[in-house]
């Protein structure tokens, strides 16, 4: 069945350092979404990628969708303490109405 693997599980960085989390799917995806969950909170939608090779930016966040539509990454430039939280990817297969979430990458930023 569909599996979405996400690495690393944890990342501790000094404020100002960069951060990247990677998502890999066992099957080709229709689209992929990224969410952020603050400690004790609920997931909040960040972005959706649909096209092969797509790159989208949101201020210091850069999202990429692989050419084969089986992998994706989220890169944060110059992390800030407000970036603390767990970042999840969620992939959707073609012809299915459900998303499979990765296990998340927990980011801790030391001031």
Query: Rule CB under 8 A: which residues touch another protein?
Result: 1, 6, 31, 33, 35, 41-45, 48, 88, 90, 92, 97-104, 106
User: Closer to another protein at the Cβ: 45 or 68?
Assistant: 45
Q: List the one residue out of 52, 40, 47 whose CA is nearest residue 84.
A: 40
Residue 111 to residue 102: CA distance in whole angstroms: 28
State the minimum distance, in angstroms, from the CB of residue 78 to another protein: 27
Task: Determine the Cα–Cα distance for residues 23 and 64; give it in Å rounded to an integer.
Answer: 10
Q: Which is nearest to 36 in space by CA: 76, 81, 78, 89?
A: 89
Residue (19 or 99) nearer to another protein, CB: 99
Residue closer to another protein by CB (options 19, 88) is 88
Cβ closest to another protein, residue 7 vs residue 17: 7
Q: Minimal distance in Å, beta carbon 88 to another protein?
A: 6
Q: Are 35 and 45 in contact (CB under 8 A)?
A: yes
Smallest gap from residue 42 Cβ to another protein (A): 4
Tell me the closest approach of the beta carbon of residue 14 to another protein, in angstroms: 23
Of 11, 32, 5, the residue nearest 76 (C-alpha)? 11
């Amino acid at each position: 069945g569909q599996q979405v693997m996400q690495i690393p599980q944890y990342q501790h960085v000094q404020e100002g350092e960069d951060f990247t989390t990677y998502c890999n799917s066992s099957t080709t995806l229709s689209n992929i979404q990224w969410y952020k969950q603050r400690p004790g909170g609920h997931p909040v939608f960040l972005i959706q990628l649909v096209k092969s090779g797509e790159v989208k930016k949101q201020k210091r966040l850069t999202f990429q969708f692989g050419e084969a539509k089986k992998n994706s990454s989220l890169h944060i430039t110059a992390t800030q303490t407000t970036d603390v939280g767990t970042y999840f990817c969620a992939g959707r297969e073609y012809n299915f109405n459900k998303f499979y979430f990765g296990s998340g990458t927990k980011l801790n930023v030391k001031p």
